[in-house]
Homo-oligomer: A and B are copies of this chain.
């Protein structure tokens, strides 16, 4: 592997700062985490977006959340076909090995993946339809929900709504995994759907009775 480069100096410097302060003050805890293994209470599936920091929002520290991040916080349907399924592997590990008690899907406003999905569904992004478009094929997971927002004229409102649907379809797909459904039914696992507004710092939670997201 000849292409790797040294770490940029600003990151080296910050790392040494962390090592001398946060690490030093919490050394006992980090060693216990290393020796005894992790025991997170919850798994969070959130977007890769650099503006979404689930640990900040919830004041979480090392050891609390098992976190998977992908484009648009999507979970594909259960497909045990022997291929590489990175997201399904994270869910399997969290539920079957770590036995987390909560599985939280966190969507967010201004999601680039969801915006691309809308462009694609409207016929404005033919390059995303190509077999070679990984983002396009990934956003196919959300596609079945586009019909539910197709009639919303305001494009901002439409995007916000499809972002919320990206959470709902992930929750629905999660229930297609037999081990998730069984853990939910036995009460060992509970599912939670959240959506956060980046600019306003808002947080909404999916309410199954109301069938919509309500402010927390």
Residues of A within 8 A of B (CB): 1-41, 43, 48-53, 55-71, 74, 76, 80-94, 97, 99-102, 104, 109-110, 112-113, 131-135, 137-141, 168, 171-172, 175, 183-184, 187-194, 197-201, 203, 205-208, 216
Q: How far is the CA of A183 from the CA of B39 in the complex (A)?
A: 23
Q: A50-B40, A50-B66, A55-B55 known; A201 and B23 CB under 8 Å?
A: yes
Whether B38 contacts A39 by the Cβ 8 Å rule is: no
Q: A48-B68, A99-B32, A102-B28 known; A203 and B15 CB under 8 Å?
A: yes
Give the distance to chain B from A1, nearest Cβ to Cβ, in Å. Answer: 5
**Given pairs A1-B175, A80-B134, A85-B137, 9 additional interface contacts (CB within 8 A):** A3-B184, A7-B104, A8-B102, A18-B201, A27-B188, A48-B93, A55-B55, A89-B134, A93-B135
Whether A83 contacts B137 by the Cβ 8 Å rule is: yes
- Write out the residue numbers on chain B whose beta carbons fall within 8 Å of the beta carbon of A172: 1
| Residue among A6, A36, A92 having the largest count of chain B Cβ atoms under 10 Å | A6
- Write out the residue numbers on chain B whose beta carbons fall within 8 Å of the beta carbon of A90: 48, 70-71
